[in-house]
Amino acid sequence: MRPKKHIHTKQQKRLYDRTEDKFTFNISYQTHTKQTPRTLAIAEAFGIGIDQTQKFKIIDTQLKITPKDIVYITGDSGAGKSILLKAIHNDLGEQAIDLTEITTDPNQPIIETIGKTLQQSIELLSKVGLNDAFLFLCTYNQLSDGQKYRYKIAKLIESQKQWWLIDEFTSCLDRDTAKIIAYNLQKIARQNGKALITATTQNDLAEDLKPNILIHKRFGQEINITYYPNPTPTECSITKQMNIEPGTKNDWNKLSTFHYRAHTISVPRKIYRMVRGEELCGVIVYTYPPLTCYGRRFMLSKMTLKQTNQQLSTINRIVIPPKYRTIGLGKKIIHDTLPLVGTPHVELIAVMAKYSPFAEKAGMQKVTQQQNIEGTTKLTNTLKQLNFDLQLIASQQYVEQKIANLTTEQIKQLKTAFKANKHPSFKKQAPPSSHNPYGKTTNYLTYITSANNNQISRLIKTLAMLNQTKVYLFWNKQNQNKKPTTTTTDR
């Protein structure tokens, strides 16, 4: 065992020229060994002077790094990468932020701890792959190690500092996640005109990080610096490994747990899956269109039910496992399957489309945004009169507790309100008619009359879904690039 040494870093020269974006480093350190009975015995046995100091030069170089560069510092452990990164940070001062400086609130839902507004919070978390309704509600302590790392990167982005510095970059993550984060972070840095400087022993991130400055720090003062043209980001290396093929309902069942909505799906028309080797990485479910759909009237003339079923498909579900989000797989699975579904028109009604334009990037047109479903206002007002908190009616447990405290007369008032609203989404919850899969009015009215508390709570949860602000998107096979005649954002 080597005797313990005391190390003193000696910075002989360090200069940052802001006008030329040039860093000059000449850094060395010296060591001496503490005298103890054992270290003295070793010194005597091997004939070495324990009082001698040893000097090592670790950095003697110049770097030209602009405030918009992507820098990848790699090399073996102990070669001096962290010392180099710290020296850069010291020169930049308040202009820079290191990931280790990020503080977290362990007990608050993460949606409350980032962003000045709800919109900004969702956008920041979505950029780093935490775009899941259930994750929004988790505290920092409830996240996995990979999710915690993504969250800290979101906070790094939020800081708006010009220089982003990350030591031990993705060293605690599996290599797939590391590549996904590297690809996303360089893309965000370039889009926002920020400098990103990473240091890590891992040398497998160059394709996804796409650095225009690659620094290989070796032991001693040896350092190799390569400058590249600043490339335009393309796609993540993992995306290139994805293939899309026909799928089954069983594929949906395997990934349905990652979807924030109900695990059930409407009658499927086509299902496609995205695979990476043997791994299932995504599913898209196309179904027959519902009877009515807000936004459809802007794009299609009135059709019979038969014509609608023949000419229109609805994207009912899209799910990508959390690990693979934010590298464009949602866009890819939509874009690649739209021409395969077999109908000239496809529609999508999505809440998440308010925050992420993945469907538009895939070739769909954003037509309109719906704030409230026509005809649900009276029903919503009835719940208000009965002191329901409308922000909580998506929680079946909350609704069941509220219903349990209603009087017989209030239950009757609630049922009367549902009878007056015959929306297809409510009617489908009644026992199905063999002649009408969308629900029959007489069956629905009978169902409401005898509905128990649990059945009423499910109807109220459906109302919560209907009252969500949703975006209507449309795809036309014959004229994909034509803009819609109406782009009204209403109600």
At residue 248, the pLDDT reads: 96
pLDDT digits (tens, 9 = 90+) for 405-438: 999 999 999 999 998 888 888 887 887 654 555 5
At residue 50, the pLDDT reads: 65
Q: Which two tokens stand for residue 119?
A: 């919109």
At residue 224, the pLDDT reads: 87
* Rounded Cα gap, residues 181 and 360, in angstroms: 23
Q: Which two tokens stand for residue 175?
A: 């290599």
* Structural domains of the chain ordered from first start: 1-64 (no CATH), 65-237 (3.40.50.300), 239-371+469-490 (3.40.630.30), 377-466 (no CATH)
CA angle 276, 281, 285 (to 5 degrees): 125
At residue 293, the pLDDT reads: 83
Q: Residue 177 in contact with residue 126, Cβ under 8 Å?
A: no
Q: What is the end-to-end Cα distance of the chain in Å, rounded?
A: 75
Name the pairing type of β-strands 268-276 and 279-287.
antiparallel
At residue 342, the pLDDT reads: 95
Name the pairing type of β-strands 70-74 and 213-217.
parallel
* Rounded Cα gap, residues 465 and 380, in angstroms: 12
**Nearest partner of 334 among 412, 274, 389, judged by Cα:** 274
pLDDT tens by residue, the chain, 491 residues: 444 444 444 455 567 777 878 787 766 666 667 788 888 787 778 777 666 666 556 677 778 899 999 999 998 887 788 888 988 998 899 999 999 999 999 889 999 999 999 889 988 998 888 887 788 889 999 998 889 999 999 999 999 999 999 999 988 888 999 999 999 999 999 999 999 999 999 989 999 999 999 999 877 677 889 999 877 778 899 999 999 999 999 999 999 988 876 667 888 999 999 999 999 999 999 999 988 788 898 999 888 989 999 999 999 999 999 889 889 999 999 999 999 999 999 999 887 777 778 899 999 999 998 766 656 888 888 999 999 988 788 877 888 889 999 999 999 999 999 988 888 888 878 876 545 555 678 888 999 999 999 889 989 888 887 777 789 999 998 865 544 444 333 33
Q: Residue 29 in contact with residue 8, Cβ under 8 Å?
A: yes
Q: Which two tokens stand for residue 106?
A: 């362990």
DSSP 86-105: HHHHHHHGGGEEEGGG----
Q: Residue 341 in contact with residue 286, Cβ under 8 Å?
A: yes
Question: What phi, psi does 411 have (nearest 5°)?
Answer: -60, -45
* Rounded Cα gap, residues 167 and 199, in angstroms: 5
* Rounded Cα gap, residues 487 and 482, in angstroms: 13
Sign of CA dihedral 376, 132, 144, 262: positive
Classify residue 107 by its DSSP letter: T
* Rounded Cα gap, residues 311 and 344, in angstroms: 6
β-sheet with 5-17: strand ranges across: 5-17, 22-33, 54-64
At residue 392, the pLDDT reads: 81
pLDDT digits (tens, 9 = 90+) for 246-300: 999 999 999 998 887 666 788 899 999 999 999 999 999 999 998 878 889 899 9
Q: Would you state the torsion angle of the CA atoms of residues 164, 169, 172, 175, taken in this order, to the nearest 10 degrees?
A: 120
pLDDT digits (tens, 9 = 90+) for 331-349: 999 999 999 999 999 999 8
Return the SS3 of 489: strand
